[in-house]
C-alpha cells in the first residue's frame, strides 16, 4: 500500500473522530480510551464494543504495513511467529515460543466460536503442520504478518483463511514460563 495514501487515510479518519468527539454531547465520547477504541475500530474493522484491550490494538496499529521477512523481528521486517511473540511480550508481558508450532504447544486449544481478542489463531497452509499464526482481534478479524503484504489485518471468514484455519488457542500461564525455545524457521509460505 502506498505510504502517502495510508498516512492520508489515517489523518482523515483521525480528523473525523476528533470532529465527532467535539460535536458529541455524550460523556463517554470525551474519554480518551473510547476515542482510541473508535479510531482503532475504524482502522481494523472491529466493533469498538469488542475492543477490550486498547494496548493490543495500539500495538497492532503501530506495526501495520511492516514488511514480511522470514526470521525478522524488527519493524524493518518480521515474520508471523515473531509478530505474535512481540505482541505477547509487549502487550501481555508473556513469552509464548519462537515459531508457530512451538506457540501452539503452549496454548489451550479453543473453538473458533470461543475466540477472544488476544487469542492466537493457527493455520496449516498447504501442510500437515502448523505454518502460520495470527492474533485474534474480534469480529472475525486477526492481525498477522503475511509473506506477501507484511503486517496486516485479515478476516477469518475469507475463503483463503477459512480453508487453512486449524485452531485457536489461549496461552497457558504455566506453559508460557517454560516455553520450549525452538528457533527453527516456520517455513511459512502464505498469500
Task: For 10-57, give the DSSP string.
Answer: HHHHHHHHHHHHHH---GGGG-HHHHHHHHHHHHHT--GGG---HHHH
Half-sphere CA count of 85, side-chain side, radius 13 A: 23
Catalytic residues: 80, 132, 144
- Give the three cell numbers for residue 172: 497457558
From CA 181, how far away is CA 122, in angstroms rounded? 19
124-127 long-range Cβ contacts below 8 angstroms, 24+ apart: 124/164, 124/166, 125/164, 125/188, 125/189, 125/190, 126/164, 126/189
Per-residue pLDDT, 40: 60
**Superfamily, domain 73-177:** endopeptidase domain like (from Nostoc punctiforme) (3.90.1720.10)
- Sequence ranges of the domains in the chain: 3-52, 73-177
Per-residue pLDDT, 66: 97
Asked whether 167 and 123 are in contact (CB, 8 A), the reply is no
H helix runs in the chain, sequence order? 3-23, 32-44, 54-63, 80-91, 100-104, 159-164, 173-177
Measured between alpha carbons, how far is residue 102 from residues 17, 61, 97, 130, 185 in Å?
40, 25, 5, 9, 11
The stretches in the chain having pLDDT less than 50 are 7-8, 11-28, 174-191
Amino acid at each position: 500500500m502506498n505510504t502517502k495514501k495510508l498516512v492520508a487515510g489515517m489523518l482523515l479518519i483521525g480528523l473525523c473522530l476528533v470532529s465527532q468527539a467535539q460535536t458529541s454531547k455524550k460523556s463517554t465520547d470525551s474519554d480518551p480510551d473510547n476515542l482510541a477504541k473508535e479510531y482503532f475500530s475504524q482502522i481494523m474493522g472491529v466493533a469498538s464494543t469488542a475492543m477490550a484491550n486498547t494496548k493490543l490494538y495500539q500495538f497492532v496499529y503501530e506495526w501495520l504495513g511492516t514488511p514480511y521477512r522470514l526470521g525478522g523481528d524488527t519493524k524493518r521486517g518480521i515474520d508471523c511467529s515473531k509478530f505474535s511473540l512481540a505482541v505477547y511480550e509487549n502487550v501481555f508481558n508473556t513469552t509464548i515460543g519462537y515459531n508457530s508450532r512451538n506457540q501452539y504447544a503452549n496454548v489451550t486449544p479453543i473453538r473458533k466460536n470461543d475466540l477472544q481478542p488476544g487469542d492466537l489463531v493457527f493455520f496449516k497452509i498447504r501442510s500437515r503442520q502448523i505454518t502460520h499464526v495470527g492474533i485474534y482481534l474480534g469480529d472475525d478479524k486477526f492481525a498477522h504478518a503475511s509473506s506477501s503484504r507484511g503486517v496486516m489485518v485479515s478476516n477469518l471468514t475469507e475463503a483463503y483463511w477459512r480453508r487453512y484455519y486449524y485452531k485457536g488457542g489461549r496461552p497457558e500461564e504455566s506453559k508460557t514460563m517454560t516455553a520450549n525455545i525452538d528457533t527453527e524457521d516456520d517455513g511459512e509460505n502464505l498469500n
